[in-house]
């Protein structure tokens, strides 16, 4: 089944530190290896066989296409823009299933190391889940990039970092968006994310007596849906560009690829 990709290209209220560092107003327009982030990720999504169309969410869509290196986005027939609001979860909920038909893949404009192969590996493993989350295992990432700093979710059998890829396959996924609305401000604090699913799951996560798959299954059951983790093989899937150090690493990786 063809997927719709939601590309989150907005930012939180106030000045974004990365954008300010590079003299930009919008983080999504920061260039990495000579191309604005939003343009690079949009190209990747459009090149992925499973993605039929891309919807870009941003507070000021016009600003993202008002320059020569991004104007192609306005003329791409498989891509459209819509205005987002401050809340990520509410922005996604407003278009999922409507402007963006199910199933929906959600990713971010700072995911500049994303490749079509990563997209296909992820959507190919979603199966019959209502919600799926992409992650990378710590040994895989730190074995390749030992100095990289990530937020780790620790379970029995390993620690994992999010890979900024989420699958929402139908209306039942809205329950996960409702939950996310209450915890997205704490998205960088792993224990607070787990705590949202109740004290027992938090206790089992803190004592590492539950696996990643078991934790997601239990969390999904509390919401009345099927939730599944997808552990990706490529460590770069967990590296997004939030700070200058990430930017330098991403440029080095992209240069090596080319």
Q: Chain-centre distance of CA 24, in angstroms?
A: 22
For residue 207, the SS3 value is: coil
Residue 258's pLDDT is what? 84
Mean pLDDT of the chain: 90
The answer to whether residue 207 is domain-embedded is no
The answer to whether residue 122 is domain-embedded is yes
More confident residue, 149 or 168: 168
219 has a pLDDT exceeding 70: yes
The answer to whether residue 24 is domain-embedded is yes
203 has a pLDDT exceeding 80: no
Axis-axis angle for helices 174-183, 212-223 (nearest 10): 100
Per-residue pLDDT of 49-69, as tens digits, reads 999 999 999 999 999 999 999
Residue 254's pLDDT is what? 98
Q: Could you tell me which residues come within 8 angstroms of residue 49 by beta carbon, excluding any fewer than 6 positions away? A: 116, 120
What is the value of pTM for the model shown?
0.92
In this structure, of 72-76, 103-107, 112-116, 156-160, the range with the lowest mean pLDDT score is 156-160
Candidates 113, 62, 145, 125; CA nearest to 242 is: 113
More confident residue, 114 or 205: 114
Q: Could you tell me which residues come within 8 angstroms of residue 30 by beta carbon, excluding any fewer than 6 positions away? A: 18, 19, 22, 24, 36, 37, 241, 247
Q: pLDDT above 70 covers what percent of the chain?
A: 89
Count of CB atoms situated within 10 Å of the CB of 48: 22
The answer to whether residue 246 is domain-embedded is yes
Candidates 251, 257, 240, 252; CA nearest to 27 is: 240
More confident residue, 79 or 206: 79
35 has a pLDDT exceeding 90: yes
Per-residue pLDDT of 109-162, as tens digits, reads 999 999 999 999 999 999 999 999 999 999 999 999 998 888 888 888 999 999
Per-residue pLDDT of 5-19, as tens digits, reads 999 999 888 889 999
Determine the Cα–Cα distance for residues 25 and 12; give it in Å rounded to an integer: 12
The answer to whether residue 61 is domain-embedded is yes
The answer to whether residue 13 is domain-embedded is yes
The answer to whether residue 101 is domain-embedded is yes
CB-side exposure of 90: number of CA atoms within 13 Å? 10
Note down the domain range covering 57.
3-135+162-184+225-253
189 has a pLDDT exceeding 70: no
Candidates 165, 158, 122; CA nearest to 140 is: 158
The answer to whether residue 151 is domain-embedded is no
What would the mean pLDDT of 88-117 be, rounded to a whole number? 95
**Residue 75: CATH number of its domain:** 3.90.550.10
What would the mean pLDDT of 185-199 be, rounded to a whole number? 54
Number of domains in the chain: 1
Reduced 3-state DSSP string for 106-164: EEECCCCCCCHHHHHHHHHHCCCCCEEEEEEEHHHHHHHCCCCCCCCEEECCEEEEEEE
Rounded to a whole number, what is the distance in angstroms from the first to the last CA of the chain? Answer: 31
The pLDDT-based confidence of 202 (bands split at 50, 70, 90) is low
- DSSP per-residue letters across 72-103: HHHH-TTEEEEE--S-HHHHHHHHBTTTBPSS
Residue 204's pLDDT is what? 58
More confident residue, 157 or 30: 30
The pLDDT-based confidence of 80 (bands split at 50, 70, 90) is very high
């Amino acid at each position: 089944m063809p997927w719709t990709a939601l590309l989150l290209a907005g930012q939180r209220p106030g000045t974004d530190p990365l954008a300010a560092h590079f003299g930009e107003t919008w983080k999504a327009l920061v260039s990495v290896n000579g191309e604005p982030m939003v343009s690079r990720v949009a190209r990747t999504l459009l090149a992925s066989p499973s993605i039929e169309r891309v919807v870009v969410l941003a507070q000021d869509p016009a600003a993202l296409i008002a320059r020569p290196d991004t104007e192609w986005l306005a003329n791409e027939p498989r891509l459209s823009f819509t205005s987002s609001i401050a809340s990520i979860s509410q922005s996604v909920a407003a278009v999922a299933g409507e402007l963006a038909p199910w199933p929906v893949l959600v990713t971010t404009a700072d995911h500049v190391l994303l490749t079509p192969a990563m997209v296909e590996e992820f959507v190919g493993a979603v199966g019959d889940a209502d919600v799926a989350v992409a992650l990378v295992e710590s040994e895989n990432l730190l074995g390749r990039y030992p100095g990289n700093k990530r937020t780790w979710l620790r379970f029995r059998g390993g620690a994992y970092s999010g890979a900024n890829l989420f699958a929402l396959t139908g209306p039942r996924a809205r329950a996960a968006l409702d939950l996310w609305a209450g915890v997205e401000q704490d998205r960088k604090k792993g224990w607070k994310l787990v705590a949202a699913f109740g004290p027992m799951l938090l206790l089992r996560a803190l004592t590492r007596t539950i696996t990643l798959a078991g934790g997601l299954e239990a969390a999904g059951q509390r919401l009345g849906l099927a939730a599944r983790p997808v552990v990706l093989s490529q460590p770069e899937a967990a590296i997004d560009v939030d700070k200058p150090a990430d930017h330098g690493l991403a440029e080095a990786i992209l240069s090596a690829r080319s």
